[in-house]
A and B are shown apart, each in its own frame.
Chain A
Amino acid sequence: MALEDPKEKWSSAVATVRIGATAAEGGTRSREVVLGGETTLPFLHFEGASPNMPVVAMEVLDCPPRDWPEALLKPFEDVIGDPAAWAAKCVKDYGAEMICLRLEGTHPDSGDKSPDEAAKAVKAVLEAVDVPLMIWGCDVDDKDNMVLPACSQAAAGEKCLLGTAKEDNYRTLTAACLADKHALIAESPLDINIAKQVNILVSEAGLPLDRVVMYPTTGGLGYGIEYAYSIQERGRLAALTGDKMMSPPVVCQVGQEAWRAKEAKATAEEAPQWGPPDQRGPAWEAMTATALLQAGADLLIMRHPSAVAWVRKVAEELSRAA
């Protein structure tokens, strides 16, 4: 007798968010990336649909990184300090399907670049590559409120993904995204109640939920990934059972969290027993990413090209229907 798969019946779906405007939509991207749309938990092909593969965005900084270890700097050594060239290298050499421009250089302690300089970097990256773009501020609210509207305007009509909006600082960025037709990242501090609240606030401010991506905060492997995992999983279960306010797809800061761990960044001299850093670091980043894929992540921001390649392979294999 054939044994039937035990299938759950889900009543709703993850929202579908499209990033990147092609010429047909008045933008200059060669293609869009589509996030979300799942009608089941990750990779359960027998139960429902996952119409869009998880997307990896490669992280590019607008200044030389302060705390990246040697193993992570090496693949980018000829382009560091030039975000346009860095982005182009990610696309041409490492096959990036999306770029995340991190405006680290606008941080008051890390260069304090002006909104104008940031907007120029955005324009330069948009010219250098034709993949969809994500623009992430420096996470200092006051500075982001000046910088991000300028960047939003510089990228108007390109349907970028801008972040981040928080519970007590969402109005400025939401207004900018509405005006310049971008999508928005809604951030919450590893707290599912606040995650839902931020989504409600930005949607009440007029931004439709198909232009929102949730960033519930990411914990690195070995450093709190369990919390991130269980929050993402609970949010996804709510989305699939009809909680519209939890329906936006989820983005994870994989590179940032993974490379914070000493297991990823320790040098060969510091930890000879752990193996060569140029393999160990990317492995740590890839492991972090694959765990988060299982929690339902739709968009991963990553750093090392080898880790990106591994994760893409894993995602492809898991996405292939049995």
Chain B
Amino acid sequence: MIVIGERINGMFKAVGQAIQDRDKAVIQDLAQRQLAEGANMLDINVGTATADPAGGMRWLVESVREVTDVPLSIDNPNLPTMKAGLEACSGRKMINSTIGSDAALDTFLALAKEHNAMIVCLCIDDKGVPVDVDGRLEIAMRVLAKAMEHDVPIEDVYIDPIVLPVKADQTGPGKVLESIKQFTMLSDPAPHIVVGLSNLSQGSVDRKLINRTFLTMAIGVGLDAAILDPLDTELMDAMIAAEMLMNRTIYSDSFLRAYRQK
């Protein structure tokens, strides 16, 4: 399971403040704590904390790079901010994200090729999020065809079926699970499949329970990456157990501790 730590996000109050104050220590501490809890990559999202998102993104990326060389996921919908993040990021990086329309894919896949970056492709096109599984599959197939066209390796492509708040549409999670199952059969090797987990429980109570229950169900049908909060210990424990139950890791009596010793 590829864990992309979500905590460096300008939408969090403390992070937003740190971006405004250019307070590196807060950001670097968040980076190190997420890595210690098992994050494999870190998401970097400048949010709306600053009037200069490109400058804020550049500062965030450079601050985090001082303390770790794990891949950084540059999380922004706007091209100038994305480019600023990619250029500031030495080492491995991820474009997070592009929608799955032809024009957006052409732009962002070319950027992925240029920067040798991984890329998250959302199952959204010009018409929005598809209402059914077939619509998501259609976009996923377009993504893979476009990736080949742009010579971006399938191993670097992360397809996001789009998780919407369960409170808004209770049929959504089931459709996402079915989509994940079908995505695994789209190519060989299969593309990575990623979700932004926390969105599922937006506006709900018992958010953590909802998040971790869905995560284990999604792992059961083939999810292999997630943007989530690695500081949520129960969530991480559930994820580690789900991977073990799917025989993706070797059981031992100390399997939880063993995972964290990676």
Interface residues of A (CB under 8 A from B): 9, 192-194, 196-197, 200-201, 203-204, 234-235, 238, 242-246
Contact = CB atoms under 8 A, between A and B. Distances in A.
Contact of B261 (A9, A193, A194, A203): A203
Contacts of A245: 252, 258, 261
Nearest to A9: B155
Contacts of B250: 192-193, 196, 234-235, 238, 243, 246
Contact of B252 (A9, A200, A242, A244): A200
A243 B249 contact: yes
A235 B257 CA distance: 18
Nearest to A242: B262
Given A196-B251, A197-B253, 9 more contacts: A192-B250, A193-B253, A194-B252, A197-B252, A200-B252, A200-B258, A201-B254, A204-B254, A244-B262
A197 B254 contact: yes
A18 to B, nearest CB: 22
B89 to A, nearest CB: 21
A200 B252 CA distance: 9
Interface string B226-262: 0000000000000000000000011111100110011
A245 B251 CA distance: 11
B243 to A, nearest CB: 11
Mostly, the B contact residues are loop
B249 A238 contact: yes
Contacts of A9: 155
B219 to A, nearest CB: 16
A9 B253 CA distance: 29
A200 B260 CA distance: 11
Contacts of A246: 250
Contacts of B262: 242, 244
22 contacts: A9-B155, A192-B250, A193-B250, A193-B251, A193-B253, A194-B252, A196-B258, A197-B252, A197-B254, A200-B252, A200-B254, A200-B257, A203-B261, A234-B250, A235-B250, A238-B250, A243-B250, A243-B258, A244-B261, A244-B262, A245-B261, A246-B250
A235 B252 CA distance: 12
A245 B249 CA distance: 11
A173 B249 CA distance: 28
Contacts of A203: 261
Contacts of A235: 250
A38 B253 CA distance: 27
Nearest to A209: B261
A245 B261 CA distance: 8
Contacts of A234: 250
Tell me which of B249, B250, B252 has the highest count of chain A C-beta atoms within 10 A of its own C-beta.
B252
A30 to B, nearest CB: 36
Nearest to B251: A193
Contacts of B254: 197, 200-201, 204
Nearest to B153: A9
A234 B248 CA distance: 11
Nearest to A194: B252
Contacts of A192: 250
Contacts of A238: 249-250
Contacts of A200: 252, 254, 257-258, 261
Given A200-B258, A242-B262, A245-B258, A193 B249 contact: no
B261 A196 contact: no
A193 B250 CA distance: 6
Contacts of B258: 196, 200, 243, 245
Most buried by A among B155, B250, B258, B261: B250
A204 B260 CA distance: 12
Contacts of A243: 249-250, 258
Contacts of B252: 193-194, 196-197, 200, 245
Contacts of A196: 250-252, 258
A193 B262 CA distance: 17
A234 B250 CA distance: 9
A244 B250 CA distance: 11
Contacts of A244: 261-262
A125 B153 CA distance: 56
Closest 7 CB pairs of A and B: A196-B252, A197-B252, A200-B254, A193-B251, A245-B258, A197-B253, A200-B258
Interface string B166-186: 000000000000000000000
B241 to A, nearest CB: 14
B224 to A, nearest CB: 12
A4 B65 CA distance: 36
A200 B258 CA distance: 7
A157 B240 CA distance: 40
A168 B257 CA distance: 18
A246 B262 CA distance: 11
Nearest to A239: B250
A9 B250 CA distance: 20
A196 B257 CA distance: 12
